[in-house]
């Protein structure tokens, strides 16, 4: 797996952080990255400040449907929250440093807690679709690692403290929240049925094309990290028909209320952990 050996990526994240601060995206203790079809949650923020990615120096543009490509700063229960609507992916041709640049910039700006979300395929036949799964660990099968030689990985990057907060919030809000292991693959093609059987043998409960590099980076720069997958479709070999991105977006819309209820109460709690 590749890693950085020069200062250029580090310079880029500071340029982005300075650009975010100049646009008013600062003084937040918690941030959330919203995956495919999940961006509507940002509409719940009070007093929103909206900044498109294109207005920020060093921020790459997402080309994937369901990723709005903007930051929204606002308040939840009196807590300042930064929401990133959409992300860029390795399969769009970006390096791992570009994919993780926004997370590093959040760390530069003093963010303490990071919640990552994604839409994923499900490997558990008994789980209803759609459903939410808190990521307890992951399999990095993307072939790259984002940490620099000076940064020490911690094993699983997901904070047990933040995970407990999400579990408790799910109980209080009545939102079903499963737990499991997320397999991150390169994409952009969906997995074959044989690959899904392999991932099942490896212990994965969900599979997608993002999140792992961001999680490793967030933990590597000192943030507490939690992550949630929206299981939007059964994986290949489990689903009745071929997979498609429209199905992912439809599932996200169908489960939007549960997702929003969990985050609306949970994000302010993550900020104070």
Is 198 part of the annotated catalytic residue set? no
- Asked if the model's pLDDT at residue 150 lies above 90, the reply is no
Q: Range with the lowest mean pLDDT among 28-37, 165-174, 195-204, 210-219?
A: 28-37
Q: Poorest-confidence range of 43-52, 79-88, 171-180, 239-248?
A: 239-248
Choose the weakest-confidence range: 74-88, 108-122, 201-215, 227-241.
227-241
Q: Are 266 and 166 in contact (CB under 8 A)?
A: yes
Confirm if 26 and 20 have CB atoms less than 8 A apart.
yes
**pTM of the predicted protein model:** 0.91
158 is catalytic: no
Cβ atoms of residues 233 and 251 within 8 Å:
yes
HSE (side-chain half, CA atoms, 13 Å) at 162: 27
The mean per-residue pLDDT over the stretch 204-217 comes to 96
Q: Does an H or E element contain 229, and which?
A: strand 224-234
pLDDT at res. 13: 95
Whether 232 sits among the annotated catalytic residues: the reply is no
Domain ranges of the chain: 8-271
pLDDT at 5: 39
Task: Look at domain 8-271 and name its CATH class.
Answer: alpha beta
* Preceding peptide of 130 cis, ω within 30°: yes
Active-site residue, 91 included? yes
Tens digit of pLDDT for each residue in 61-103? 887 765 578 999 999 999 999 999 989 999 999 999 999 999 9
Q: What is the pLDDT of residue 155?
A: 78
Q: Of 4, 31, 32, 36, which is the active-site residue? A: 36
Q: Which two tokens stand for residue 221?
A: 């720069």
Tokens of 18: 């300075």
Among the listed residues 32, 42, 59, 119, the single catalytic one is 119
Residues 113, 140, 210, 232: which is the catalytic one? Answer: 210
Using one digit for the tens of pLDDT, what is the confidence trace for 101-147?
A: 999 999 999 999 999 999 899 999 999 888 999 999 999 999 999 99
Interatomic CA distance for residues 217 and 152, integer angstroms: 10
- Annotated active-site residue 119? The verdict is yes
**Separation between Cα atoms, residue 218 and residue 36, nearest integer Å:** 20
**Catalytic residue (choose from 29, 170, 206, 209):** 209
Average pLDDT over residues 254-267: 88
């Amino acid at each position: 797996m590749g890693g950085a050996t020069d200062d250029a990526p580090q310079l880029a994240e500071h340029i982005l952080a300075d650009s975010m601060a100049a646009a008013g995206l600062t003084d937040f203790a918690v941030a959330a990255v919203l995956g495919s079809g999940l961006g509507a949650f940002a509409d719940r923020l009070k007093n929103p400040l909206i900044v498109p990615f294109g207005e920020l120096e060093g921020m790459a543009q997402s080309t994937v449907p369901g990723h709005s490509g903007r930051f929204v700063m606002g308040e939840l229960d009196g807590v300042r929250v930064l929401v990133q609507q959409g992300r860029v992916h390795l399969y769009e041709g970006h390096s791992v440093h570009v994919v993780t640049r926004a997370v590093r910039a959040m760390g530069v700006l003093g963010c303490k807690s990071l919640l990552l979300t994604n839409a994923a395929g499900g490997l558990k036949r008994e789980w209803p679709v759609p459903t939410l799964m808190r990521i307890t660990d992951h399999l990095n099968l993307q072939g790259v690692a984002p940490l620099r030689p000076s940064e020490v990985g911690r094993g699983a990057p997901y904070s047990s403290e933040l995970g407990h907060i999400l579990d408790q919030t799910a109980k209080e809000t009545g939102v079903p929240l499963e737990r499991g292991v997320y397999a991150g693959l390169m994409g952009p093609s969906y997995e074959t049925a044989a690959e899904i059987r392999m991932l099942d043998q490896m212990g994965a409960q969900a599979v997608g094309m993002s999140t792992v590099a961001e999680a490793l980076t967030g933990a590597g720069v000192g943030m507490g990290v939690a992550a949630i997958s929206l299981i939007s479709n059964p994986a290949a070999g489990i689903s009745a028909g071929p997979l498609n991105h429209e199905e992912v977006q439809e599932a996200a819309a169908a489960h939007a209320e549960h997702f929003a209820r969990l985050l609306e109460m949970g994000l302010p709690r993550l900020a104070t952990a």
